[in-house]
Structure 1
Amino acid sequence: MTTLTIVGTGMGMATLTKEGEAAINKSDLIMGGGRMIAPYETSHRTLNCFRAEDILQAINETKATSPVLIVSGDVGFYSAARQVTEQLSDLLEIVLVPGISSLTYFAARLKKPLHDVYTISCHGREKNLIDAVRRQPQVFALTGQNTAELAAQLVLSGFGELKVIVGSDLGLATEKIETMSVRELKDRECPSLTVLWIENEDYCDRVRFGIPDQEFVRGDIPMTKAPVRAQVLAALSPWPTAVCYDVGCGTGSVTVELALACYEGKVYAIDDVAEAINLTEQNILNFQLGNVVTVSGTAPQALENLPAPDLCFIGGSKGNLSAIIDAVLAKNSNCHFVITAIKLDSCTRAMETLESRGLDLALTQTWSARGSGPRARMLVADNPIFIISGKYQGERSRE
């Protein structure tokens, strides 16, 4: 079996390791992107290719016995080496030669340790930089010609005055390292090879259930009150990477708490009332969330183009409860539902609908009275609420 050596070249030839240099020198075919193979074009046979299928074809056609794929940085840090290894490991013997990553290089230039920094790649992938910055004291971000866009998103979420250290063309003759505010970065043009080190002394990584009602922007739209909200979130039992629906999102109070809990996932807030969508979006900004998508429309039609959910909260169905549940189950038969109802007949209908689809039920009625006035000695009662939970307990797989 032919051995393919994947070499991480670090920040360029000056930072190439001895092991990487030896592998390249004895290679009879060097592959990689145009910028990567350019230094070797006069001394070796080179091919501009980096996709797995092209690499395999090149090896077969040239009958190379010691091919090398060179990648920038380190083979284990957001590298093309991962995909190539996964796709070709059954066909080729893969050897990985580590290099100096952009993170290691940049941290050394800044004289900063690595153990407290959170890493994220916003280069060619959808990633939630806003929540990373909100939750972490230091964030290292790879970018790709989108620094101004990323900075604009952070400014909109209230992070405009944070300090960001911008590293461009690291390891090259044109290397530049600058310190500025996120707001200043918004108006800068940066090269494609740019990394960011963002610092947030006031970071907050709390996951909060039952946030006080007064912390939300309110309007004339009904809101799930704090005591009920806390029990809804407990019933849903969200985890960091979960995909969630909030159907009938209202002011977005449940949306916010789901988004805080599912900070590496996604929350889709659905409502057909314009004011509800507007209030939800205001609360998203106020709580500095980057993982929420608002969807204006009536469920189940509004769910059609959304990804399959892990969790679905239904706070308002507009009489379409059965159709909503069926639409969600068609996307993921393991989805966990939580439904709130005020009226007995609505509670009964929700339970019958879930049970008829083969889901196991749990029912709670919650009623609370909260202290009011300067010394909180007058109790003010909230309406009693039914909380219905439905989840299939078998082995059905997510579709």
Structure 2
Amino acid sequence: MSQAPVTVVGIGADGWPGLAPAAQQALRRAEVIIGGPRQLDLLPAGCTAERVAWPSPLRPAVPGLIARYQGWRTAVLASGDPMFFGIGRTLAELLGADRLRVLPHPSSVSYACARLGWPLEDTEVISLVGRPLDALAAALHPGRRLLLLSAGAATPAEAAALLAERGFGPSRLTVLAQLGGEREQRTEGTAEDWPHPPGDPLNVIAVDCRRADGAPRLSLTPGLPDELFEHDGQLTKRHIRAATLAALAPAPGELLWDVGGGSGSIGIEWMRAHRSCRAISIERDPVRAERIAHNARALGVPALRVVTGAAPAALEQLPTPDVVFIGGGLTATGALDACWQALPPGGRLVANTVTLESEALLTDSYRRHGGELTRLAVAHATPVGGFTGWRQAMPVTQWSVTKTS
């Protein structure tokens, strides 16, 4: 593949007149311009380059398409800022950043914050382009301001319906379409009675989050209320779950194996810790596996991957984890050893159990590998006749360890 630079030009709804002189010059000098049909149609006749529309699917086609025009002065059109949820990221990953000359245009998010008077640094941006709408649920907190990058004309009504379903019906929605262009539009309403039909597909949705009376409050810290998870009893209870997540210590970008997923509570709370945290829940029971996926969607982490099968066989071919949690199946032959072997140096393992048989396995592993062995006990106040006493839950033995080599 030629090492000639590729110029990536951001363009907005204002088209050619909105481009800076350097961007206009780059497009005039280009011999081939690649972009979406809508973007290519914004160019004037004075741009005499061959115009090539991106094929679908786009990402696999990028290297071959760039190679086809090796030696040509090549420009790529992008919506707004190419490095903000745009084609610039894909090109940098596939071609290398040193191959690119990026000329950004104000993004739709910058325009939206300017129109609304919202500080950009205090506004959370969520892309719904090619992503599940359920991911929006994890960002819903009273008083927060969100900007949703819309997938099309139907997205505002779909987002309004999800907000109402998740207890945020009073939230104020503002749909900003064709930002920066001559046909810029603004539509407003509340999620619970969104009255507007589908409009322009090129839109951004601003959400001023307001929780309805009685709707559950979802904390950012681990230990969500147990009743938020559908389960059949296979659930790491709230206080033990909070202590377990503290031992797991999620960090951005890390991958967790949740072995013996049960209701999926550990993997779900792991992914809620940061938007880039990833998790795979391994559960042998198909009904529970489906329930895990349902809980993940309901709590805003639909990207949780669910593998139906029993360890250790189900662990084969999975990507290398940064952290492993074992909440069930410890006594299955080879399961604990397989999890340990899968971890790279520096990886972490946490295992919980309530049975003496599994506790013996953890004690043996503690002797061989070190780490920390902890007994966790929780008691709840309950009525005792006309008085109140403590009811002790089954104690949990927890082994946590970092693999050194």
| TM score, norm. by length of structure 1 | 0.76
Whether the aligned pair in 2 keeps the contact of 1:264 and 1:291 (CA below 8 Å) is: no
Measure how far apart 1:182 and its partner are: 3.8
Measure how far apart 1:117 and its partner are: 0.9
Distance 1:297 1:3 in 2: 48
* SS of alignment partner, residue 100 of structure 1: coil
Distance 1:42 1:234 in 2: 61
Distance 2:171 2:158 in 1: 16
Q: What is the aligned partner in structure 2 of residue 6 from structure 1?
A: 8
CA-to-partner distance for each residue in 1:261-287, whole Å, 9 max, x for gaps?
244424444444577567767765775
Distance 1:135 1:304 in 2: 42
Correspondence for 1:391 among 372, 380, 402: 402
Distance 2:143 2:276 in 1: 13
Whether the aligned pair in 2 keeps the contact of 1:136 and 1:204 (CA below 8 Å) is: no
Alignment of 1:107-126 (within 5 A): 107-125=113-131
* SS of alignment partner, residue 7 of structure 1: strand
Correspondence for 2:149 among 142, 153, 177: 142
Alignment of 1:238-317 (within 5 A): 238-273=250-285, 290=302, 292=304, 297-301=309-313, 303=315, 307-317=319-329
Distance 2:143 2:336 in 1: 37
Q: What is the aligned partner in structure 1 of residue 44 from structure 2?
A: 40
* SS of alignment partner, residue 115 of structure 1: helix
Measure how far apart 1:113 and its partner are: 3.4
Q: What is the aligned partner in structure 2 of residue 229 from structure 1?
A: 241
Distance 2:63 2:271 in 1: 36
Measure how far apart 1:141 and its partner are: 2.0
Distance 1:198 1:296 in 2: 37
Q: Residues 252 and 53 (structure 1 numbering): CA distance in 2 closer, same or farther, change over 3 Å?
A: closer
Q: Residues 56 and 190 (structure 1 numbering): CA distance in 2 closer, same or farther, change over 3 Å?
A: farther
Whether the aligned pair in 2 keeps the contact of 1:52 and 1:83 (CA below 8 Å) is: no
Distance 2:148 2:86 in 1: 14
Alignment of 1:39-58 (within 5 A): 39-41=43-45, 43-48=47-52, 51-58=62-69
Distance 1:81 1:350 in 2: 48
Moved more, 230-239 or 252-261: 252-261
Whether the aligned pair in 2 keeps the contact of 1:9 and 1:17 (CA below 8 Å) is: no
What code does the residue aligned with 2:7 have? T
* SS of alignment partner, residue 82 of structure 2: coil
Q: What is the aligned partner in structure 1 of residue 208 from structure 2?
A: 199
Q: Which runs of 5+ in 2 are unaligned?
A: 55-61
Distance 1:149 1:41 in 2: 39
Distance 1:207 1:144 in 2: 27
1:361 aligned onto 2:371: yes
Distance 1:155 1:325 in 2: 46
Measure how far apart 1:200 and its partner are: 0.9
Distance 1:26 1:235 in 2: 57
1:345 aligned onto 2:345: no
- How many pairs were matched up? 386
Q: What is the aligned partner in structure 1 of residue 105 from structure 2?
A: 99
Q: Residues 49 and 265 (structure 1 numbering): CA distance in 2 closer, same or farther, change over 3 Å?
A: same
What code does the residue aligned with 1:193 have? L
What code does the residue aligned with 2:12 have? G
Whether the aligned pair in 2 keeps the contact of 1:347 and 1:388 (CA below 8 Å) is: no
1:379 aligned onto 2:390: yes
1:179 aligned onto 2:179: no
Measure how far apart 1:174 and its partner are: 5.0
Q: Residues 136 and 275 (structure 1 numbering): CA distance in 2 closer, same or farther, change over 3 Å?
A: farther
What code does the residue aligned with 1:24 have? L
CA-to-partner distance for each residue in 1:234-288, whole Å, 9 max, x for gaps?
2211224433343334455545543442444244444445775677677657756
* SS of alignment partner, residue 69 of structure 2: helix
CA-to-partner distance for each residue in 1:311-350, whole Å, 9 max, x for gaps?
3322221742623651674486764221112233311223
Distance 1:228 1:382 in 2: 10
Distance 1:365 1:87 in 2: 49
Whether the aligned pair in 1 keeps the contact of 2:330 and 2:358 (CA below 8 Å) is: no
- Identity among equivalent positions (%) equals 26
Whether the aligned pair in 2 keeps the contact of 1:322 and 1:353 (CA below 8 Å) is: no
1:17 aligned onto 2:17: no
Measure how far apart 1:123 and its partner are: 1.8
| TM score, norm. by length of structure 2 | 0.75
Q: Residues 290 and 126 (structure 1 numbering): CA distance in 2 closer, same or farther, change over 3 Å?
A: closer
Q: Residues 310 and 114 (structure 1 numbering): CA distance in 2 closer, same or farther, change over 3 Å?
A: same
What code does the residue aligned with 1:323 have? A
Alignment of 1:152-191 (within 5 A): 153-172=162-181, 174-182=183-191, 188-189=197-198, 191=200
Moved more, 82-91 or 140-149: 82-91
Whether the aligned pair in 2 keeps the contact of 1:247 and 1:316 (CA below 8 Å) is: yes
What code does the residue aligned with 2:20 have? T
Q: What is the aligned partner in structure 2 of residue 397 from structure 1?
A: none
CA-to-partner distance for each residue in 1:40-61, whole Å, 9 max, x for gaps?
345422331563542353241x
Whether the aligned pair in 2 keeps the contact of 1:149 and 1:186 (CA below 8 Å) is: no
Distance 1:19 1:189 in 2: 37
Whether the aligned pair in 1 keeps the contact of 2:345 and 2:404 (CA below 8 Å) is: no
Q: Which runs of 5+ in 1 are unaligned?
A: 395-399
